Amino acid sequence: QRKTQFNDYSNNKTNFSDWSDPKGKPLRRKHVQFETTKDDTRPSQRLSENVSVISETTTEIEEMRKKLREGQPLLSLKEIRTFKLPFHESLLLNLKDDGFLSTHAFINDLITLDETWHEERNKNPIYKNRPLLKNKPIVLNALSDGLSKAEVAKKAEKDNEELRYMLGLALYFTKLEDTWHWITEELYEQCIEICNNESLVEKLEEKLIAITKYLYAKFLLALHDLNYAKTNVEESMALSIGKFWNASEMVGESCDILYFESCLLLHKIYLQMANEERVFDIENAINLCRNACYWAKQINCKSAEANALLNLVIIYLAAKRLDPVMSHLENYMKLCDEQNDIKGRCEGYILLASYHKLKDQDG
């Protein structure tokens, strides 16, 4: 069972299976008339514009007077909420009124979890300055916009579109400062629930599932949740092997073939595991390094292979197991020569000096 540094938020997931019909009305965009310079505007045109402005103002005043005479409210309920209530309360009420019940529930759960988290740690100066979600309108608007679009797609049974909206929202939060990464994890978990939903197996695109699991694994590596990252990236590799998929469109930047990226990510995960394991179990750390080297070779990535060999030599030296060192070190130096990696060669010579020093001590 995986462990993450956000366990405070991992046990309370919102069920997205119950979606209600939205009643959202499209926003009206006002036409913008750009101002002309004084020299380019004729007197007759300026007079016409002034008359037009006066006419519009008069019409607005008459409409307001009519509303007052008929006892109609001058502001809509949503406008009154905006002025009278805190932003997060106004947002939640509007979502509920518009029929976005699952979006309302999810955001409300996040706000409640965040408040509980702060109450438990308010005396700790390290966490004291972490912002409250309910006080951040930009973050709340991003959540509301992305989740409501996903909810509309779910109601229309457009499952791939729903997953894209959820994944896009998770990627948006990935790029924010790490104080919001607990929300990122919650969003990715919702994506994984969609991917693993047996009733959607035939409906979801395999490419989209593979991209989702790769991106989540990449995020989990940054959180040092290595076992869960390994599980997700291996599932992505199983789907993408032999395919020329990439995640460029989803992430908005140039990416290599997904299988190549997944192998490279698995290589990094194994190296991180080896570095953490070497303090407790040298043999296991050595095996993990060898696995990292294997996946680097699978995609013919010489820089990754060299990095794995370098870590393997470091582990052998730390354990004072000198016999295998020279062969791995020679292979490492050859790879550095092939890539013209001067810095890598310098690191190799430092390790070679350490090897001879330990050899002399044993001799």
- As a whole number, mean pLDDT of residues 160-164 equals 97
3-class SS of residue 280: coil
102-148 pLDDT tens trace: 999 999 999 999 999 888 877 777 676 788 999 999 999 999 999 99
The answer, yes or no, to whether residue 14 has pLDDT greater than 50, is no
pLDDT at 64: 64
Lowest-confidence range among 44-58, 196-210, 232-246, 283-297?
Answer: 44-58
Q: Which long-range contacts (CB under 8 A, 24 or more apart) does 172-180 make?
A: 172/142, 172/146, 173/142, 174/219, 176/139, 179/130, 179/131, 180/139
pLDDT at 142: 97
The answer, yes or no, to whether residue 305 has pLDDT greater than 50, is yes
pLDDT at 24: 40
Would you list the domain boundaries of the chain? 78-204, 235-243+254-363
CA-wise closest residue to 165 among 155, 157, 154, 176: 154
The answer, yes or no, to whether residue 37 has pLDDT greater than 80, is no
The answer, yes or no, to whether residue 44 has pLDDT greater than 70, is no
Token duo for residue 191? 């994506």
Q: How many residues belong to the chain? A: 363
CA distance 69 to 79: 21
Contact 17, 105 (CB under 8 A): no
pLDDT at 46: 53
DSSP codes, 159-186: HHHHHHHHHHHHHHHHTS-GGGHHHHHH
CA distance 109 to 116: 11
Question: Phi, psi (5° rounding) for residue 197?
Answer: -70, 115
pTM: 0.77
Phi-psi domain of 71 (left: phi exceeds 0; alpha: psi -120 through 50; beta: other): left
- Rounded-to-5 percentages of helix, strand, coil across the chain: 70, 0, 30
pLDDT at 195: 96
CA distance 191 to 186: 9
258-277 pLDDT tens trace: 999 999 999 999 999 999 99
207-216 pLDDT tens trace: 999 999 999 9
How much is the mean pLDDT over the chain?
A: 84
pLDDT at 75: 65
pLDDT at 286: 94
pLDDT at 124: 73
- Provide the pLDDT confidence category of residue 71 given band limits of 50, 70 and 90: low
For 62, counting Cβ atoms within 10 Å of its Cβ (0-12 exposed, 13-18 middle, 19+ buried), the class is: exposed
Token duo for residue 349? 């010579």
Percent with pLDDT over 70 in the chain: 78
The answer, yes or no, to whether residue 86 has pLDDT greater than 60, is yes
Query: Per mean pLDDT, which of 72-76, 77-81, 118-122, 308-312 is the most reliable?
Result: 308-312
The answer, yes or no, to whether residue 10 has pLDDT greater than 50, is no
Look at 44 and 325; give whichever has higher pLDDT. 325
- Provide the pLDDT confidence category of residue 333 given band limits of 50, 70 and 90: very high
Architecture of domain 235-243+254-363: Alpha Horseshoe (1.25)
Whole-angstrom CA distances from 54 to 43, 48, 61, 232 are: 17, 10, 11, 64
Amino acid residing at 353 = A
The answer, yes or no, to whether residue 22 has pLDDT greater than 50, is no
**Nearest 5 degrees, angle CA 310-CA 316-CA 322?**
115
CA distance 286 to 294: 12
